[in-house]
Amino acid sequence: MLNAKQEELLERDYNIGDMVEGVVNGLEPYGAFLTIDENGTRGLIHISNVSSGIVDVIDRHFKIGDAIKARVIELRQDGNLGLSTRGTQLPNYSKDITEREELIGNGDYDQIYKIMQASVGVVSPKAKEKVKQLVEDHGMFKFMLTLATVNKDFNVDLGLLFTSEIEKNLSDCL
């Protein structure tokens, strides 16, 4: 049974499954609040509905002012929409990439090397050259965003890989 506030949402043509666009106007540890229309309809993207992966910090995914496309998953009793960005497009990072590049900085390579070293141990001079080339080609923001994604999924034991390579070449030694 729908209450009056839920009925009002239906009258504004919001239905479960609809795609809506909104602007992020509030961030809390548990989710992002969006303004959906000029009538002040609000929506909440709960942290559990941001992506299919684990999201631990909401402001890594959304910033105040971001335009977001989301799916309506609930007509909440408080008159707001329950929203999800799972399976929808990611926030539009390109609109303010220059601003984000300035926040990260250009050329703080020591920070990159520390992140890489924590994951793989040693960062060779050739690897450092490659990092600089990739940053020059793609920009610091894109590089750091990709590094964060790859670093999370990078589970190679390089010591074991190195030992396996030694084992393969032992017969050729002396």
Q: How confident is the model at residue 168 (pLDDT cuts 50, 70, 90)?
A: confident
125-138 tens-digit pLDDT: 888 888 888 878 87
Per DSSP, helices labelled H in the chain are: 4-11, 97-104, 109-120, 125-138, 140-153, 158-169
Query: For the domain 4-91, what is the CATH code?
Result: 2.40.50.140
| Residue matched to tokens 């009056």 | 4
- Domain residue spans of the chain: 4-91, 96-172
pLDDT at 93: 46
Q: How confident is the model at residue 167 (pLDDT cuts 50, 70, 90)?
A: confident
Question: What pairs with residue 43 in β-bridges?
Answer: 34, 81
* Structure tokens belonging to residue 75: 């007509």
Q: Which region holds residue 88: left if phi is over 0, alpha if psi is between -120 and 50, else beta?
A: beta
pLDDT at 138: 76
